[in-house]
Amino acid sequence: MPQIEYFFTLVSPWTFLGDETLRKLAAENGASIRHVPVNLGAVFNETGGLPLAKRSDARKALRMQELKRWRKYRGIDINLEPKFFPASDKLAAGMMIGAQNDGKDVGEFAHAIMRAVWIEERNIADTDTAIDIANACGLDGQALADAAHSPEIEAQWQANTEEAISRNVMGAPFYIIGEHTLWGQDRLMFVEEILAAGG
């Protein structure tokens, strides 16, 4: 079974725009997804990327045009300027890692967190909100929130980030399938080709 190693941040619109398609491609091709939430700011610091606030006006304008194009193409009515953006995804990432440590599939939870930001105008940095989202996905939200800032889970989030940097991840979403590295949800057509060829 091929595996898609999926490096991402939960507050990226690009990650959200591609997430449903990625999960569909994995299911159709019998592939598993390894969800790897990372500290994207730390990744940018090592790879030359800039957070949105520090980008030039020209880059910001192009980003907005591209978001509108991809919103229409994917048929996902995201809010391009959500109320709670940027919001820290550290709590939600920690909860995801805790759920993974418990052997849970976190795909639905990751998607629900992203949907909360980009469609539902919810603040994922708020503990009660994150707990509610986790509970709605069949997880024990309170237990995950309690554990999210433990030294062990914080160390794992840092290890995820260090792994991303060591494997030349430069942004989000970033997919690794065997020897293939692909940056951006606009590369999902190539993910599909790679999976169809057996990974």
What letter does residue 133 receive in the DSSP assignment? H
What is the percent of the chain with per-residue pLDDT over 70, rounded to a whole number?
100
Summary mean pLDDT of the chain: 95
Tokens of 18: 């591609």
* pLDDT value, residue 33: 98
Question: CA 170, CA 110: separation in Å to the nearest integer?
Answer: 20
CATH of domain 3-196: 3.40.30.10
Among 37, 27, 54, smallest CA distance to 173 is for: 37
* pLDDT value, residue 44: 83
What's the whole-model pTM score?
0.94
Question: CA 103, CA 83: separation in Å to the nearest integer?
Answer: 33
The mean pLDDT of 42-57, rounded to a whole number, is 80
* pLDDT value, residue 51: 76
* pLDDT value, residue 48: 74
Q: Confidence band (pLDDT; 50, 70, 90) for 177?
A: very high
Residue 93 in this model has a pLDDT that exceeds 80? yes
* CB proximity list for 104: less than 8 A, separation 6 or greater: 139
Tens of pLDDT along 114-140?
999 999 999 999 999 999 999 999 999
Tens of pLDDT along 10-39?
999 999 999 999 999 999 999 999 999 999
CB-based contact 83:74 (threshold 8 Å): no
* pLDDT value, residue 67: 96
Judging by beta carbons within 10 Å of its beta carbon (0-12, 13-18, 19+), is residue 66 exposed, middle or buried? middle
Question: CA 14, CA 62: separation in Å to the nearest integer?
Answer: 14
Tens of pLDDT along 50-88?
777 778 889 889 999 999 999 999 999 999 999 998 899
* pLDDT value, residue 197: 92
Four-residue CA torsion sign, 34, 39, 41, 43: negative
* pLDDT value, residue 52: 74
Domain borders along the chain are 3-196
